[in-house]
Structure 1
Amino acid sequence: MRIRLARPEDSAALLRIYAQYIHSPVTFEYALPTEPEFAARIGRISETYPYLVCEENGGISGYAYAHRQAEREAYQWNAELSVYLDAAAASRGRGTRLYRMLLDILPLQGVRSAYALVTLPNAASERLHASLGFRTMGVQSEAGFKAGAWHDVAWFVKDIAPHDAAPRPLLPVSRLDADVLRRILDTRG
């Protein structure tokens, strides 16, 4: 198993994984994006945040990424996390490894709090977040309609760095020390 930064050319492999969720309430997106749309997403997110893929046996078995939690400038020290695993790779620790890497990288960028939005019920995701020290911040009742039903979503939060006064602006992942980033990826992968 090897974990590395995603590239836009990974879009076809990541879409195959994401397609496993598109008709479920795990994602509130209704239609599977096209490969060029997904490649553009990877590129756009990767400009600022870590976007990771898990490679094993010659293919990609999962991916996780951080992205901006809210648009206003004062939210720049927060990040929202997402993880998607191929069904064959689920419940084998891949999601935990990917998340831990994100949680190691984000403080280096200046992120102070990590958030996750989880459609309920989702026992595996709820366990993942609890095992990594996230706490439930709140539940939005009937937040989205998908697959013929209304679904609640839970917000999870974890403080990952001190909330000190006058933080520096968020540092894009591309500006992190390459050796430090490589060590994180090698150690956790």
Structure 2
Amino acid sequence: MIPALRDATSNDLPAIASIYEEAVLNGTASYEITPPDLAEMQRRFQAITGQGYPYIVAVDEDGAVAGYAYTSAFRTRPAYRWLVEDSIYIARNGRGKGIGRLLLQELVSRCTALGFRQMVAVIGGASPASVAVHRSCGFRMVGTLNGTGFKHQQWLDTVFMQIALGEGDTSDPDPKGYPGTLFAG
């Protein structure tokens, strides 16, 4: 069954925190070493959704959160306001089922509709699965930073991938458009 996608709510945060905890403890997608507690995950959720960025979950037929994804500012300086960074995490038992691709496609669609012009993926550990998901959604490889993280007794590379949204950089953005409202000044 194809999971349903919907906006994440604060009620989803225990499941989101659990998925992220597993990723922090066992994976290389995040360079955090200690998983944040639920209060910190709530703070992060509020910071992202409070600025209007998309934050979505995939729920299985039982209503359980199988994965989540969101976008946030790549950098907070005003000239970057047309660029978002995506983050995707899938529950261990949901991996390899196309959930990541569904979440990423939805993020691309929503961010395009909001007027963003570029999306970047910062892929910790150069995860082959994450690279493949992003490539399947039209992202292109734009660079690799070697040996940027040390986790699980190994040096990790960070891969950057990018996709243009809407008109990308072929026209000037609307200075009164939505992304401009995310930044003061």
In the alignment, structure 1 residue 146 sits paired with structure 2 residue 177: no
Cα offset for 1:169?
4.4
In the alignment, structure 1 residue 156 sits paired with structure 2 residue 158: no
Q: Deviations over 1:12-63 (max 9, x none)?
A: 1101111111123221011111111101111110122000011111211100
Instruction: Output the CA distance in 2 between the equivalents of 1:32 and 1:170.
Output: 36
Q: Which residue of 2 aligns with 1:177?
A: none
Using the size of structure 1 for normalisation, the TM-score is 0.86
CA contact (8 A) 2:6 2:58 kept: yes
Q: Which residue of 2 aligns with 1:39?
A: 42
Q: Unaligned 5+ residue runs, structure 1? A: 173-189
Cα offset for 1:122?
1.5
In the alignment, structure 1 residue 6 sits paired with structure 2 residue 13: no
The DSSP-based 3-state class of the residue aligned with 1:74 is helix
Cα offset for 1:148?
1.6
- How many residues align structurally? 172
Q: Deviations over 1:67-98 (max 9, x none)?
A: 00112100000000010001111111111111
Structure ranking higher on relative contact order (CA contacts 8 Å, 6+ apart): 1
Q: Which residue of 2 aligns with 1:130?
A: 135
Instruction: Output the CA distance in 2 between the equivalents of 1:144 and 1:99.
Output: 24
Q: Which residue of 1 aligns with 2:23?
A: 21
Question: What letter matches 1:33 in structure 2?
Answer: P
Q: Pick the aligned partner of 1:106 from 111, 115, 140.
A: 111
Q: Percent identity?
A: 28
Q: Unaligned 5+ residue runs, structure 2? A: 180-185
The DSSP-based 3-state class of the residue aligned with 1:110 is coil
Instruction: Output the CA distance in 1 between the equivalents of 2:81 and 2:127.
Output: 28
Instruction: Output the CA distance in 2 between the equivalents of 1:99 and 1:129.
Output: 8
Distance 1:166 1:60, change over 3 A: closer
Choose 72-81 or 19-28, whichever is displaced more: 19-28
Question: What letter matches 1:11 in structure 2?
Answer: L
What is the root-mean-square deviation of aligned Cα atoms in Å? 1.4
Instruction: Output the CA distance in 2 between the equivalents of 1:146 and 1:170.
Output: 40
Q: Deviations over 1:77-126 (max 9, x none)?
A: 00000100011111111111111111111012111000001123422111
